[in-house]
Every structure is written in structure tokens, then in C-alpha cells.
Amino acid sequence: MLHDLLGVDNVEIKAVCDLVPEKVEHAQKAVTDAGQAKPAGFSKGELDFKNLNQLDLDIVYIATPWNWHVPMAVDAMKNGKHAASEVPAATTLEECWDLVNTSEATRKHCVILENCCYGSSEMMVLGMVRDGFFGEITHAEGAYLHDLRGILTANESEGLWRRFPHMQRNGNLYPTHGLGPVAHYMDINRGDRFDYLVSVSSAEASLSAYVKTKFPEGDPKRAEKYVCGDMNTSIIKTAKGRSILLQHDVVNPRPYSRLNSISGTKGAFADYPPRVFQDGQKDEDWQQIEAFREKYEHPLWKSTGELARKMGGHGGMDYVMNYRLMDCLKRGLPPDIDVYDAAAWSTPTPLSEKSVAGNGAPQKFPDFTRDGWKNRSSSMLFAG
Ligand SMILES: NC(=O)c1ccc[n+]([C@@H]2O[C@H](COP(=O)([O-])OP(=O)(O)OC[C@H]3O[C@@H](n4cnc5c(N)ncnc54)[C@H](O)[C@@H]3O)[C@@H](O)[C@H]2O)c1
């Protein structure tokens, strides 16, 4: 994130905060190496972020473990800053409402940094959807299928915290990478909204087997009891009657996929690899999406794609997201993804957990927009 932001014109990094002083120093050096003044550093304990929030800042980026996202975002907004939170923005319904209520009360944006919405294919497909290429969209699929066993059990970084929810919760722990792009295609919170969800988890097996294979007798990880099923499958029904398949599996060995597919009355898109099908085409094979790039590549990818790919983060989508968010702030435009999206896209975690515990019983989504979804217009991603 820091690397990307240092590459955007007219963005100054004024402060950095981390529990680990060496990480703060490392970040400060990256900023001075980029020719900016040394930012203030905060590393005096878990609540030192509150001191950072006393400075004169426009926006605070939050890329900490999940349990810190909401306390940090709420404190930033209450101190007059916009908040941008890593994914998921929140992990309980109460936390989702805290974000919505605080953003409304303070009139500060609360953005979820869902980089997958800014992938080259995702933005092309969004353009095709808005152009009517797929007709009326009735179904979509999203997922986070990513073998994280090594990361979850490492003795550093996410291995220090991200495995613990697997011992406490059985459901979809990481819904937004799959759901964000699909919510954009379907204009969720802007003409449609998530209505209810049903969810089922498979048995747990893979993480337990992995720690027994990888760690020697006596290692405490071998005694850990994981309750989160390997594969969680949810189905969301929207207010307009559309369906979304949403899956989560971070422990089985398999190639990466976010599914990322849609189908409508005139055609379909499926990812991994990205491909499209049009009603009436001569044969039954998928067409490569490349055939449509010239017409549908998003203007942001046309203008920043080369630099984005060089910056690298997740194939360039991190840079496009950060560039776009900074551009919106500088020009006073509303961000593409707002607090209602942050809350709705994060909500499958608590709802899937409840549905799984109730043998797949349907769970209603709160309407975080308080009926506003009926009249809110599409994000301005194509408005320049
Ligand atoms: N969008 C994506 O593609 C993507 C990819 C990776 C991670 N993430 C998300 O980013 C977030 C961070 O993930 P990560 O891989 O960088 O984790 P990490 O464990 O490597 O880094 C988290 C950092 O937060 C610091 N920290 C923890 N508590 C703190 C506190 N109270 N005050 C200040 N600093 C604190 C830690 O010292 C650590 O340096 C998570 O929410 C994760 O889900 C998103």
C-alpha cells in the first residue's frame, strides 16, 4: 500500500503506525527514499494509533489484523479523517453497524480496500455489464479459494493471528474478494441489495492434517482444534430475485480462484481463465476475453495499466485501486466503494456462521442503507 501511495502524485505520507518499531522505521525510510519528509512514527503499544489520529490527516489506511479494523476506522472517523480498511472491514453485525453509524454521524467516508474490484478483467466485465453485453444478470459466483496453509501456520505475519478464527468460527471468514466484484456487476446497494443467505460448511480436515504433517510431536499447533469447515458454501438471494454462489476454502491444496462469474439473458462470463459466451454465437466454446479488450478495457487501465503492472501488487490492481481512491479524494468525488458496501460485503461472515450452526437456515441481511438502495445511483467508475 505504502509503495503504491508513494507512486501517486500529490499524496503525502504524514504518519505511520505499527506495533513493531522496526516496521515503522522501515516505512519511514521508504517515504524519505521517495523524496518526502520523514513521517511521524507511532509504535508505543496497541492504542498508539489514537495519537496518530490526532494529527491533521485526510485519510487513514488500516492494514492490521481483522480485530483492529473497526476500532481503528471508528477512531479515525471520530477524529475527522476518512477511513480506508483492509478486508474484511468487520467481522460481526455489531461492528458493521458501528462503521455505518459512525460514517453517517461524522460525514466521513469509510472505504473497504477491495482491490479485486480493480482487476483488469473485473473492470472490463463491469463495463460490459453496464453496456448490456450479458443482458439481464440473474446469477453470479464468487469465492476465495486459496491454499493459505503455509501462511496460516507460519511463525510470522498472518501466522501470528489469522489461524485463530479457524478455531472459533465455522463459516465464510473472508467473503469480500469474491463478493466485491460480483456486487459491482449487480449494483448491490444501488438498485438491488442482498436479501438473505443460506450456508453449509464441509467437515474440517485439511488444516488438522497439515499441522500433523508439518510440525513435530510436542508442537502446540498439533493440539489445536479447528472448527471451520474446509469448504464453506453460501447462496445469497438478492431483493431483485438474483442468486449468488459464494465459497470460502483457504486450506485445501488447489489452484487459486475467486470464481468470478456471471450469467444473464444474453451471455455469460467466467474467470480462471477469463472468458465470455454470447447468445447466438456459432459454436458452444467460450471466447477469450482478449477479443473484447480493445472495446471494453477500462479507461483507468488504459491510462495507468502500464505503471500498475510495474508496481506489481496483485497484478497491478492494488495500484489502480489506490490511484483511483486518491483521485476521488483529491477531486472531491464520492469513493466507488462506500461504508454500505464495506458493511454488506463483510456481513456473510456472521450470517454464514449462524446459518451453518442452524443447518443451513436462512439469515436476513440488515439493510445498512435504510432503504436508500432503491434510489442510489451506480458508482462513478465510468464517469471519469
Ligand atoms: N486485499 C488483499 O489482497 C490483502 C492481502 C493480504 C492481507 N490483506 C489484509 O490486510 C490486513 C493485514 O494483513 P497482513 O498480511 O499485512 O498482516 P501482517 O500480520 O503481516 O501485518 C499486520 C501488521 O499490523 C500490526 N499491528 C497489529 N496490531 C496493531 C495495533 N494495535 N496497532 C498498530 N499496528 C498493529 C502488526 O505489527 C503487523 O505489522 C488484514 O486485514 C488482511 O486480511 C489483504
DSSP of 52-93, one letter per residue?
HTTS--SEEEE-S-HHHHHHHHHHHHHTT-EEEEPSSS-SSH
Mean pLDDT to the nearest integer, 88-101: 98
Mean pLDDT to the nearest integer, 25-30: 98
By alpha-carbon position, which residue is closest to atom 20 of ligand 1? 157
Residue 327: how many other CB atoms lie within 10 Å: 17
**Pick from 37-46, 228-237, 252-261, 375-384: least confident:** 375-384
Q: Is 90 exposed, middle or buried (0-12, 13-18, 19+ CB in 10 A)?
A: buried
Of the candidates 256, 268, 167, 271, the residue with the CA atom closest to the CA atom of residue 211: 167
Pocket test for ligand 1, best of 152, 158, 248 (most atoms within 8 A of CB): 158
For β-strands 261-264 and 267-270, DSSP reports them as antiparallel
pLDDT confidence bin for 89, thresholds 50/70/90: very high
Residue 88 contacts residue 176 (beta carbons within 8 Å): yes
Q: Which amino acid is at 153?
A: T
Residue 164 contacts residue 243 (beta carbons within 8 Å): no
By alpha-carbon position, which residue is closest to atom 23 of ligand 1? 64
By alpha-carbon position, which residue is closest to atom 31 of ligand 1? 46
pLDDT at 384 over 70: no
How many whole angstroms from 362 Cα to the centroid of ligand 1?
Answer: 32
Mean pLDDT to the nearest integer, 145-154: 98
How many whole angstroms from 186 Cα to the centroid of ligand 1?
Answer: 30
Of the candidates 79, 28, 39, the residue with the CA atom closest to the CA atom of residue 58: 79
Counting from 1 in the atom list of ligand 1, the atom nearest the Cα of 161 is: 19
pLDDT at 383 over 90: no
C-alpha cell recorded at residue 49: 494509533
C-alpha cell recorded at residue 223: 493440539
Cα–Cα distance measured from residue 235 to residue 362, given in angstroms and rounded to the nearest whole number: 10
Counting from 1 in the atom list of ligand 1, the atom nearest the Cα of 158 is: 19
How many whole angstroms from 68 Cα to the centroid of ligand 1?
Answer: 9
Question: How do residues 53-87 score in pLDDT, each as one tens digit?
Answer: 999 999 999 999 999 999 999 999 999 999 999 99
Name residue 65's beta-bridge partners: none
Cα–Cα distance measured from residue 71 to residue 323, given in angstroms and rounded to the nearest whole number: 26
Stretch (H or E) spanning 139: strand 137-145
Of the candidates 301, 264, 284, the residue with the CA atom closest to the CA atom of residue 122: 301
Q: Which amino acid is at 64?
A: T
The pLDDT, as a whole number, for residue 299 is: 94
The pLDDT, as a whole number, for residue 156 is: 97
Pocket test for ligand 1, best of 2, 50, 64, 314 (most atoms within 8 A of CB): 64
Mean pLDDT to the nearest integer, 178-207: 98
Q: Which residue has the cell 481503528?
A: 72
- Pocket, ligand 1, Cβ cutoff 6 A: 17-20, 23, 46, 49, 63-66, 68, 86-87, 115, 157-158, 314
Cα–Cα distance measured from residue 244 to residue 263, given in angstroms and rounded to the nearest whole number: 10
By alpha-carbon position, which residue is closest to atom 22 of ligand 1? 64
How many whole angstroms from 62 Cα to the centroid of ligand 1?
Answer: 8
C-alpha cell recorded at residue 101: 453509524
The pLDDT, as a whole number, for residue 371 is: 98
By alpha-carbon position, which residue is closest to atom 27 of ligand 1? 64
How many whole angstroms from 378 Cα to the centroid of ligand 1?
Answer: 31
How many whole angstroms from 177 Cα to the centroid of ligand 1?
Answer: 16
Cα–Cα distance measured from residue 16 to residue 23, given in angstroms and rounded to the nearest whole number: 9
pLDDT at 313 over 90: no
pLDDT at 309 over 80: yes
Q: Which residue has the cell 469448504?
A: 231
Residue 329: how many other CB atoms lie within 10 Å: 18
Of the candidates 230, 123, 232, the residue with the CA atom closest to the CA atom of residue 181: 123
How many whole angstroms from 147 Cα to the centroid of ligand 1?
Answer: 18
Counting from 1 in the atom list of ligand 1, the atom nearest the Cα of 66 is: 41
How many whole angstroms from 157 Cα to the centroid of ligand 1?
Answer: 8
By alpha-carbon position, which residue is closest to atom 40 of ligand 1? 65
Mean pLDDT to the nearest integer, 140-166: 98
Note if the pTM is more than 0.85.
yes
Residue 95 contacts residue 224 (beta carbons within 8 Å): no
Of the candidates 125, 106, 109, the residue with the CA atom closest to the CA atom of residue 117: 125
The pLDDT, as a whole number, for residue 382 is: 76
Cα dihedral: 381, 120, 30, 113 (round 10): 50
Q: What is the mean pLDDT of the chain?
A: 97
How many whole angstroms from 65 Cα to the centroid of ligand 1?
Answer: 5
Residue 254 contacts residue 147 (beta carbons within 8 Å): yes
Going from the C-alpha of 46 to that of each of 39, 50, 244, the distances in angstroms are: 19, 9, 38
How many whole angstroms from 210 Cα to the centroid of ligand 1?
Answer: 24
pLDDT confidence bin for 339, thresholds 50/70/90: very high
Note the helical H segments in the chain: 2-6, 21-33, 49-52, 66-78, 93-106, 120-130, 149-152, 165-168, 176-185, 206-214, 293-296, 299-311, 317-331, 339-346, 348-357
pLDDT confidence bin for 381, thresholds 50/70/90: confident
